[in-house]
């Protein structure tokens, strides 16, 4: 049914990259021995008092500012009561009625169309522990290292109209978190999680349809797939004049479907109430202004500047500004050799390929921006052919060696000496008389074959432009 409109709103949980937990001094380090990063506070012993981590608050305020939110000068932590073995206190401390920030928005691009998505609220809360089920032993283990790790919850307005918009929104949020260096934003590792709410309604109708909520989606692909499945399921129900039931569902990636987890009747009643152990969170205007001034240039602004300042196509600007480190690397290269599009071509292909293969971060890579810009310059100045440049690039990348030095070491300087090139051209013409004949008769496509032979003979060192010219002179 084409007259149905999809409505999506997302709740995102991002783990904040603080050294210590949100209400105690325990380390937030990932991967340590289970239950080693715990203390009486995060394990919920009686009589202890939590204290809010100022760094967590600072990160939360930065995100709120980056999303154009109004930061409330006073917000409150509440207790969200429920029982689960990985929640030792029997409640989670979270902001409920009075969140840290509200009324923001973010612009996302979906296939060249820019869309404005409202941010309802941003609040802080603590993470729960981790249950590890071992069916073979018939037991479950609980690891409390994650208990009390600071989370930011970001709730959107129901402003998205397609699964693609939802995933573009998530990527944009993650981009900002990473630019701000306040979260890893890693969905697979669980430091960036998403619950997706979706409903359908007749086009033109202002009232929202009944929604379902899909919990714990852990990849962008799963978000899109799960939402696509829900659109299919909802529209089938609506077409058959059956009701959509408001419920929580889970996505099963193996079957690419969602299944019911719990209905409205089983929905928790969390009995929220203000936490009596924590004072209200007061945020001063001066501090907000200072944090605002400290914000780095954010992905959208940088994207626009890359197009404006470097004259790059949108696709290049998109890729290059997707990560702050990558954008920095590009700008350092372009600063040393002012041919941004040429630099961009190298960064987006050879550089990113090596980086992915090495599986390391830009910071940890041996190559420096000056190496890449020097290489691009050497190709432009015809010191080496682009073939050779590509051949030696993996070594430059891995060793971080100056390309001029490597070219000297390996004696790879491009042959532009016409005498030497003419000799090679003549040799090729002698070796392929029939092809030469055909070329003269009009098979101009054979040119690339001839040039290829000389390139092979010269082990890639011949200047292909000159070789081409000499062939033309010789073969008429």
Q: Please report, as ranges, the residues that interact with Zn ion according to CB under 5 A.
A: 24, 26, 39, 41-42
Nearer to ligand ADP (CB atom), residue 9 or residue 464 = 9
Which of ligand ADP, Zn ion, none does residue 1 bind to, with CB < 5 to 8 Å depending on kind? none
In angstroms, what is the minimal distance from the CB of 100 to Zn ion?
A: 22
Nearer to Zn ion (CB atom), residue 42 or residue 170 = 42
The count of chain residues that interact with ligand ADP, using the rule CB under 6 A, is 16
Q: Does 95 bind ligand ADP (CB under 6 A)?
A: no
Nearer to Zn ion (CB atom), residue 27 or residue 469 = 27
Buried b (16+ CB within 10 A) or exposed e, 95-122: bbebbbbbebebebbbeeeebebbbbbb
* 355 Cβ contact partners less than 8 Å away, ≥ 6 residues apart: 362, 365, 397
Which of Zn ion, ligand ADP, none does residue 157 bind to, with CB < 5 to 8 Å depending on kind? ligand ADP
In angstroms, what is the minimal distance from the CB of 86 to ligand ADP?
A: 20
CA distance 147 to 151: 11
CB-count exposure of residue 318 (10 Å: 0-12, 13-18, 19+):
middle
Q: Does 208 bind ligand ADP (CB under 6 A)?
A: yes
Which of ligand ADP, Zn ion, none does residue 158 bind to, with CB < 5 to 8 Å depending on kind? ligand ADP
Which of Zn ion, ligand ADP, none does residue 208 bind to, with CB < 5 to 8 Å depending on kind? ligand ADP
Range list of H helices, 247-295: 285-294
For ligand ADP, which residue of 117, 119, 168, 198 counts as binding (CB under 6 A)? 198
Quote the tokens at residue 154. 């970001």
Three-class DSSP category at 422: helix
In angstroms, what is the minimal distance from the CB of 156 to ligand ADP?
A: 5
In angstroms, what is the minimal distance from the CB of 20 to Zn ion?
A: 8
Torsion, Cα 207 211 215 218, to 10 degrees, reads -60
Torsion, Cα 24 27 29 32, to 10 degrees, reads -110
Nearer to ligand ADP (CB atom), residue 155 or residue 291 = 155
Three-class DSSP category at 451: helix
Quote the tokens at residue 386. 């682009």
For ligand ADP, which residue of 66, 71, 155, 187 counts as binding (CB under 6 A)? 155
In angstroms, what is the minimal distance from the CB of 195 to ligand ADP?
A: 7
- The values of phi and psi at residue 409, to 5°, are -55, -45
Span 318-377, contacts to ligand ADP by CB under 6 A:
none
Nearer to ligand ADP (CB atom), residue 215 or residue 390 = 215
- Pattern 158-187, binding to ligand ADP, x per CB under 6 A? x-----------------------------
Nearer to ligand ADP (CB atom), residue 69 or residue 383 = 69
DSSP states along 96-157: -SS-SEEEEEEEEEETTEEEEEEEEEEEEEE---EEEEETTTTEEEEE-TTTT-EEEEEEE-
- Would you say 367 and 400 are in contact if contact means Cβ atoms under 8 Å apart? yes
In angstroms, what is the minimal distance from the CB of 225 to Zn ion?
A: 38
Using CB under 6 A, which of the segments 191-199, 233-241, 290-298, 463-471 binds ligand ADP? Answer: 191-199
Quote the tokens at residue 182. 């306040």
Q: Does 108 bind ligand ADP (CB under 6 A)?
A: no
CA distance 69 to 76: 17
For ligand ADP, which residue of 86, 157, 228, 435 counts as binding (CB under 6 A)? 157
Span 6-35, contacts to ligand ADP by CB under 6 A:
7-11
Nearer to ligand ADP (CB atom), residue 151 or residue 455 = 151
Span 242-271, contacts to ligand ADP by CB under 6 A:
none
In angstroms, what is the minimal distance from the CB of 62 to ligand ADP?
A: 21
Which of the 8 DSSP states describes residue 280? Answer: P
Nearer to ligand ADP (CB atom), residue 196 or residue 317 = 196
CA distance 408 to 337: 21
- The values of phi and psi at residue 386, to 5°, are -70, -25
- The values of phi and psi at residue 238, to 5°, are -65, -40
Which of Zn ion, ligand ADP, none does residue 211 bind to, with CB < 5 to 8 Å depending on kind? ligand ADP
| Site for ligand ADP, rule CB under 6 A | 7-11, 155-158, 197-199, 208-209, 211, 213
């Amino acid at each position: 049914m084409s007259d149905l409109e999809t409505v999506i709103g997302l709740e995102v949980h991002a783990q904040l990259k603080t050294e210590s937990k949100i209400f105690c001094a325990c380390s937030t380090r990932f991967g340590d021995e289970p239950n080693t990063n715990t203390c009486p506070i995060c394990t919920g012993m009686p009589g202890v008092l939590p204290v809010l981590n100022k760094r967590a608050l600072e990160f939360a305020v930065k995100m709120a500012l980056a999303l154009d939110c109004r930061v409330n000068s006073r917000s409150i932590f509440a207790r969200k009561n429920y029982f689960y073995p990985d929640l030792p206190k029997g409640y989670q401390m979270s902001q409920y009625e009075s969140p840290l920030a509200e009324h923001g928005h973010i612009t996302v691009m979906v296939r060249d169309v820019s869309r404005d998505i409202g941010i309802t609220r941003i609040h802080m809360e603590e993470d729960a522990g981790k249950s590890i089920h071992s069916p073979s032993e018939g037991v479950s283990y609980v690891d409390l290292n994650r208990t009390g790790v600071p989370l930011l919850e970001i709730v959107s307005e129901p402003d998205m109209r397609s699964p693609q918009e939802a995933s573009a929104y998530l990527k944009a949020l993650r981009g900002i978190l990473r630019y701000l260096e306040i979260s890893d934003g890693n969905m697979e590792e669980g430091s960036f999680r998403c619950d997706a709410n979706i409903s359908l309604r007749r086009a033109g109708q202002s009232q929202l349809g009944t929604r379902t909520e899909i919990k714990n989606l852990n990849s962008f692909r799963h978000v899109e797939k799960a939402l696509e499945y829900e659109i299919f399921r909802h529209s089938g129900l609506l077409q058959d004049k059956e009701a959509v039931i408001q419920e929580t569902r889970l996505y099963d990636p193996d079957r690419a479907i969602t299944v019911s987890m719990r209905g409205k009747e089983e929905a928790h009643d969390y009995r929220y109430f203000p936490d009596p152990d924590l004072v209200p969170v007061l945020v001063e205007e001066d501090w907000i202004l200072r944090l605002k001034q400290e914000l780095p240039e954010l992905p959208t602004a940088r994207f626009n500047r890359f197009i404006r300042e470097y004259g790059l196509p949108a696709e290049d600007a998109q890729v290059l500004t997707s990560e702050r480190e990558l954008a920095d690397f590009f700008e350092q290269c372009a600063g040393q050799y002012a041919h941004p599009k040429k630099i961009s071509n190298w960064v987006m292909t050879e550089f990113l390929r090596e980086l992915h293969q090495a599986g390391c971060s830009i910071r940890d890579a041996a190559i420096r921006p000056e190496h890449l810009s020097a290489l691009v310059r050497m190709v432009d100045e015809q010191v080496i052919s682009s073939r050779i440049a590509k051949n030696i690039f993996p070594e430059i990348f891995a060793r971080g060696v100056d390309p001029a030095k490597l070219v000297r070491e390996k004696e790879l300087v491009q042959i532009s000496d016409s005498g030497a090139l003419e000799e090679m051209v003549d040799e090729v013409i002698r070796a392929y008389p029939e092809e030469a004949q055909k070329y003269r008769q009009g098979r101009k496509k054979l040119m690339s074959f001839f040039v290829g032979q000389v390139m092979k003979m010269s082990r890639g060192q011949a200047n292909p432009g000159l070789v081409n010219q000499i062939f033309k002179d010789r073969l008429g």
